[in-house]
Structure 1
Amino acid sequence: MPGDVSALQLVLTGDPALLAIVRLSLIVSLSAVVLAALIAVPFGAALALIQFPGRQAVIIVLNALMGLPPVVVGLAVFLALSRAGPLGSWGLLFTPKAMIIAQTVLVAPIIAALTRQTIEDLWLEYRDELTAMNVGPVGRVATLIWDARFSLVTALLAGFGRAAAEVGAIIIVGGNIDGFTRTMTTAIALETSKGDLPLAVGLGMVLIAIVVAVNALAWTARRAGERMAG
């Protein structure tokens, strides 16, 4: 198809508009995953190891939040960052920072829930040893996170996949402004509606390539970790 050939040419020649969109997409998604991981990994690990009243209810809510509708998250962040909102003075609405916040909110429950399950399974294996060594709650969390670091790559990968594929929330809080807040997914949606299929297909090719590359790196890291542990 001619459109496919044109799309491939855009990718191979490094079209400036395409590269700018890809660069912003990676910055936003990776920043969101890093921020979410800093919050969600310790939270998920603590939830797996610490018993407290209402713990099961928290787990149920956390698992439910994994399926948060992106447009609802986008609306909530929009209201918080709007001029009339509690964070309106920050002036972040329709900026990449607002998009990072929205994606962080979406990604954090996924990473936290998967971390909780991973650490909980690992605790069954190390419980007797850590109890005998009289390791406290904080020490248990730190020890098991470190031991599960390669397995947790899967949780981070799931978070990145959710962030990279997100459209609704970042359109609401970012505005899809050309050259400023336009990402791969929002550009694909816009260019398809405009009939500019070469750019849309080119961005789709790059997005798929990035997802495949990230999966390959994660698989390699996990296999390397398993060999080290073995």
Structure 2
Amino acid sequence: MSFFFESLAAAGRLAWALDPELLKIVQVSLAVSCQATFYAALIGIPAGFVLAHGRLPGKRAIITLLNTLLALPTVVIGLFVYVFISRRGLFGALDLLYSQGAMIIGQFILIVPLITALTVAAISRVDQRYRKTARTLGANGWQTALVVLREGRFAIVAAVISAFGRVISEIGISMMLGGNIKGFTRTMTTAMALEYDKGSFTLAVALGLVLMILSLGINIVFNLIQGQSDR
């Protein structure tokens, strides 16, 4: 037990001293995850709105597929993207493998279904009376859509936050597509795995503490947004 507390104390001192290696790892993690979440939101929110608000052929099948993709393992996504961006792959000439760009692509694929599915759920929960009232007051299609989006905005923001929490803590995609290169593609989760394999727990525990603090912050924001939406 003393070993645990010693590691925890050493990790705390490392984090408090703002160790350059630790800061770089956190910076890479945040940069990759924020970009992946941003691009996924650009696609997922409009797609989810169209699925929930519009009348599309095969709508049920698409939603079922989205819900199925939510359970897709990260290593499967990593392998799928690897096949396309490896030197012998279709996009091998772009030299994306073992780069932050590859990690962003993989994480983007991971959370697009999540944001889309949660946006569908958010828009579907908006009371139909808002649509009817907007139409009665003479609103056109775009104006009605904006009214519905405004009513579901808190749930949509919560969906984006959930997606960010999903990618900031994933390891399979980051390891397979990023290669865990020091100072370039090493994220908090891949660095923790590497330090564990080396038997060096101080940096791993420090990164774990940072990840827990980030997760706590994400959940606090998520709960605040849920509280706003329930009013």
Structures share a fold, TM > 0.5? yes
> Aligned residue for 1:44?
48
Superposition deviation, residue 127 in structure 1 = 2.9
Percent of aligned positions that are identical: 40
Whole-Å separation in 1 of the counterparts to 2:220 and 2:82: 35
> Aligned residue for 1:172?
176
Whole-Å separation in 1 of the counterparts to 2:215 and 2:196: 21
Query: What is the DSSP-based 3-state SS (H/G/I as helix, E as strand, rest coil) of the residue aligned with 1:86?
Result: coil
Q: Any conservation in 1 of the 2:102–2:178 contact (CA below 8 Å)?
A: yes
Q: Any conservation in 2 of the 1:49–1:123 contact (CA below 8 Å)?
A: no
Q: Any conservation in 1 of the 2:131–2:148 contact (CA below 8 Å)?
A: no
What whole-Å deviation, never above 9, does each CA across 1:188-214 have from its counterpart, x for those lacking one?
Answer: 111111111111000000001011112
> Aligned residue for 1:126?
130
Whole-Å separation in 2 of the counterparts to 1:142 and 1:75: 39
Query: What is the DSSP-based 3-state SS (H/G/I as helix, E as strand, rest coil) of the residue aligned with 1:154?
Result: helix
Task: Determine whether 1:53 maps to 2:57.
Answer: yes
Please give the residue correspondences for 1:34-183 in structure 2 after superposition, counting only pairs within 5 Å: 34-133=38-137, 135-183=139-187
Task: Determine whether 1:216 maps to 2:212.
Answer: no
Task: Determine whether 1:192 maps to 2:196.
Answer: yes
Query: What is the DSSP-based 3-state SS (H/G/I as helix, E as strand, rest coil) of the residue aligned with 2:90?
Result: coil
Q: Which amino acid aligns with 1:147?
A: E
> Aligned residue for 1:32?
36
Query: What is the DSSP-based 3-state SS (H/G/I as helix, E as strand, rest coil) of the residue aligned with 1:122?
Result: coil
Superposition deviation, residue 158 in structure 1 = 1.2
Q: Residue 113 and residue 213 in structure 1: after superposition, are their counterparts in 2 closer, same or farther (change >3 A)?
A: same
Q: Which amino acid aligns with 2:219?
A: N
The equivalent position to 2:27 in structure 1, one of 17, 23, 30, is: 23
Q: Any conservation in 2 of the 1:22–1:183 contact (CA below 8 Å)?
A: yes
What whole-Å deviation, never above 9, does each CA across 1:140-180 have from its counterpart, x for those lacking one?
Answer: 43332233222212101210111011101111111111111
Q: Which amino acid aligns with 2:118?
A: L
Q: Any conservation in 1 of the 2:131–2:144 contact (CA below 8 Å)?
A: no
Q: Any conservation in 1 of the 2:161–2:218 contact (CA below 8 Å)?
A: yes
Whole-Å separation in 1 of the counterparts to 2:128 and 2:217: 33
Whole-Å separation in 1 of the counterparts to 2:142 and 2:60: 20
Superposition deviation, residue 125 in structure 1 = 4.0
Superposition deviation, residue 74 in structure 1 = 0.5
Superposition deviation, residue 2 in structure 1 = 1.1
Instruction: Note the residue ranges of structure 2 that are not aligned, 5 or more in a row.
Output: none
Instruction: Note the residue ranges of structure 1 that are not aligned, 5 or more in a row.
Output: none
Whole-Å separation in 1 of the counterparts to 2:12 and 2:92: 42
Q: Any conservation in 2 of the 1:10–1:202 contact (CA below 8 Å)?
A: yes
Q: What is the TM-score of this pair, normalised by structure 2?
A: 0.91
Q: Which amino acid aligns with 2:162?
A: A
Query: What is the DSSP-based 3-state SS (H/G/I as helix, E as strand, rest coil) of the residue aligned with 1:117?
Result: helix
Q: Which amino acid aligns with 1:8?
A: G
